[in-house]
Amino acid sequence: MSKDITPARLREQDIMTRASRVMAFTVDAQRNASGAVIADRRELSVNIGAAASQDPMFEGVNPEFCRVVGTAWASSMIEYKERHGHYPPADQLANASRALENLMIESAADKHEGNGKAMFESVAADMRTSDGVMRQAQFAALILPAVLGAATSDACTFVPCERDEAKIYELLNVAGTKFGSFEQGDEMHMQSAAVYSQMKRLYLFPDAMQPDGTKKTFTFSMKAVEGADMPIRVGRAKLLINRRPGKVDDGDGNLYFSDKDVKGNAFAATCKVDYEKGTIAVTFTDAPAKGTELAAQVEINVEKSPSLIPVINQSMREFTIKPSQFVIASEHTVMAASDLSREFGINLSSTQFTAMRNWLSHEQDMMRLRTMAFHNVYSRAFDVALPEGQTYESWVGLLKHVVTQLSTDMVNRTRKAGIRGGFAGGEAANFLKSLPSNVFQADPNFVQSPYIQRIGTLFGIYQIFEVPAAICEQFVKNGVALGKEDILFYGRGDSIGDAGLIAGDAVPAIPYVHETNPSLVNRTTLWGSSLNELHPRNGENYFAKLTLTNAKVGSYDMLTGQKIEGEAAPEAPAATGTGTGS
């Protein structure tokens, strides 16, 4: 771990700055100078284009390029807000900003190095033509909509990525001093019940200083419990016997106890308090019985010893991950393109561009889902068959309990987040969609389709996406444990890096149009690179799988409505013997 957390702070600042810049030309630009929402589409487009041109990464760029990209991004922001009730998280906006900036910078450069050198050189040449500029605008316009529209984006934390690598930072709070429950350097997190900053302390006397039925004198010292002499505040010390507190000290080093515990046992003791060393000498009138518990309540006096004031420091872990390339090409003959254009008015190049782009988006969702399912190691099963004698409400309560327990286990592992949503296989999704509206709230925009999509909210908390059964069957066949009866839950926190999957666009999909070859075949290649990696620090802790079974004998099958029958019990063997009756 490093004590220099500057890179992480700079990353946070960069993300917030980039996100605010995107918001400026996609959201703020939807209002005019008086603050009213612009209703006229043409005026809105002009205003967004003008706002986008003010962003540093659009400096010197064709105004039409700014308008095309700005309006497309603004439309995706409006759609996201309508569906989710809020705008996208800052990391997704910053990722899109960085990806577009990478494209703009590399496309304008004269020389290129590293991954994709040849592709960037061809794109740079293409960008020097008017047609090439607008072709790039069409792809740049899709960067943010592709991120916001991906079904798996909610499970990811996005990192603005350089072309060849990305840094992941994790900030930790650590104890800067040895004090209370902490050793110097111990990690401090929100699942700790340790004592550090609170100066009022409650201590049990050490075992050697607990009553044995014969002793009358006992000594408590801060050195015995904290490892060093520590001053304690005047008028804050108390003696506790069997959890019953006595009166506070009188300020002159005297402390008295004369009371009964909850069982009626009477105790009388006098004490001398040394405020400088933090000791309490206790003398009983009669030896307390064995099993009597002695404790002291004191307050450490940091005014007397300021060096005791505890310190929290920050440390940083750094991880390096590298983006992976993706590439796909399409081909058609000049004659085929001409015939389709003449006979049906179809632009074959545009159709193939759309097909390639849609496939890349789909396969990215598949890659992310496959990665999450493959690395998941935490699983639980729940039998959804409804027992004959059980009320539906109590049965639903059991289902909610098992999901809540999975979420609790997740937050205990990650110390950052519990379940945020889940990907349900085809049969599991159908089961959830059949639940009452007070249990599962269906997405009003849901229409059954053959791709991953959001279907609603479970228990008013967890977003649920449906994974078609055909995809699940292929996953299982290829060794990825996400069956059609499974729900793969994921967690994601509020800070950058608080997720099991790291995503980011190093280079957005960029087209390269090849020259027509001697066989009169036109070829177009789409190339880019992106991050879709398991978080290098225990990313699997953010995943959990629930398998829905349907096998409880005597219950009702939720799909058929039939009672589930068990195997018939074997018949008892016929009685044998030679005994005689009377």
Alpha-carbon distance of 181 to 178, in angstroms, equals 8
Question: Which DSSP category does 281 fall into?
Answer: E
Per residue, the 3-state secondary structure of 537-557, as one string, reads: CCHHHHEEEEEEECCCCCEEC
* pLDDT higher than threshold 70 for residue 580: no
- Residue-wise pLDDT tens digits, 182-217: 999 898 988 888 899 999 999 999 999 999 999 999
- Residue-wise pLDDT tens digits, 52-106: 988 888 887 888 888 889 999 999 999 899 888 889 999 999 999 998 888 777 6
pLDDT (mean) for 316-338? 86
Alpha-carbon distance of 421 to 504, in angstroms, equals 20
Could you give the 3-state DSSP secondary structure of residue 454?
strand
Instruction: State the average pLDDT for the chain.
Output: 86
Contact 436, 394 (CB under 8 A): no
Among 95, 54, 53, 93, smallest CA distance to 73 is for 93
- Torsion, Cα of 73, 75, 81, 82 (10° steps): -160
Say how many C-beta atoms besides its own lie within 10 A of residue 498's C-beta.
17
Residue with tokens 């027992």: 387
Contact 529, 506 (CB under 8 A): yes
Q: Tokens standing for 306? A: 């300021």
Percent of the chain having pLDDT more than 70? 90
**Between residues 292 and 56, which one has the greater pLDDT?**
292
CATH 3.30.70 is the classification of domain 376-495+535-556? no
DSSP string, 351-416: HHHHHHHHHHHHHHHHHHHHHHHHH---EEEEE--EETTS-HHHHHHHHHHHHHHHHHHHHHHHSS
- 514 — pLDDT class (breaks 50, 70, 90): confident
Alpha-carbon distance of 301 to 309, in angstroms, equals 10
Q: Tokens standing for 363? A: 């396969």
* Per-domain residue ranges of the chain: 1-163+501-531, 198-309, 376-495+535-556
At 575 the pLDDT is 45
Q: Which of 29-38, 359-368, 407-416 has the lowest mean pLDDT?
A: 29-38
Q: Provide CB contacts within 8 A for 252, sequence distance 6+.
A: none
Alpha-carbon distance of 254 to 249, in angstroms, equals 6
Task: Assign domain 198-309 one CATH number from 2.60.320, 2.60.40, 1.10.1740, 1.10.10.
Answer: 2.60.320
* pLDDT higher than threshold 50 for residue 29: yes
- 578 — pLDDT class (breaks 50, 70, 90): very low
Q: How many CA atoms lie within 13 A of 480 on its CB side?
A: 19
At 112 the pLDDT is 47
At 170 the pLDDT is 86
At 572 the pLDDT is 47
Q: How deeply is 360 buried, as exposed, middle or buried, from its count of CB atoms within 10 A (0-12, 13-18, 19+)? A: middle
Percent of the chain having pLDDT more than 90? 49
